[in-house]
Copies of this chain bind each other. A is one copy, B any other.
Amino acid sequence: MGRPRTPLLDRERITTTALQLVDEQGDFSVPQIAKRLGVQTGSVYHHVDGRDGIVELLRERVAAAIDPGTLDATPWDAAVEAWARSYRAAFAAHPKAIPLLMTSPVRAPRVLEQYERAVTLLLDAGFAPGDVMPLIIALENLVLGSALDLAAPETMWVLTETTPTPRLAEALAAAGEGRTNRAFEVGLAGFLAHARSTLAAGG
């Protein structure tokens, strides 16, 4: 066939298709993307830096829903809390993408910019330089960990008769639907309380 007059493919369409596949299946493959776009597998590689490049495009796409304005709130702990909630909401919209994104290093420029701003916020609030990354990583663990829970099958635990776990079953039932959201609230409240007391105690 050769080169078409107008390109059949672009990064935007590849990203959209990959995200659709991830939302449906929790994963994607390059041949699957090509098939949906009516194109040969090899063609995708002309627009994208391999499979890892597509993962990074997905990170940009999902993170684009984080509201950067949250980091302008005052005081600092209101900003951190609003950012964490916006961050979590963005990933909660595509929970099945989280395992994919958690296990590869962040290269996406827009995501790095967000972290740069978060670091600045905490430094300006008066945190010691050495304390900033542990706080941000702890928050990230909280946000992504709890959003990951959203991606998990109905229950993250498969209870069978072979291993009797009556109290675990009861506790799961008692927690109900909001289980994951409440775990996030618990973690976030704990995080913020600790951060405030760290700042009060420190120089």
Contact = CB atoms under 8 A, between A and B. Distances in A.
A186 B109 CA distance: 27
A163 B109 contact: yes
A152 B99 contact: no
A93 interface: no
This protein's copies in its complex: 2
A144 interface: yes
Interface string A179-191: 1101111110111
A146 B157 contact: no
A145 interface: yes
A135 B189 CA distance: 12
- Quick one: which of A134, A180, A191, A197 has the most chain B CB within 10 A? A134
6 contacts: A105-B152, A105-B157, A109-B162, A115-B165, A116-B165, A190-B190
A160 B190 CA distance: 34
A133 interface: yes
A167 to B, nearest CB: 5
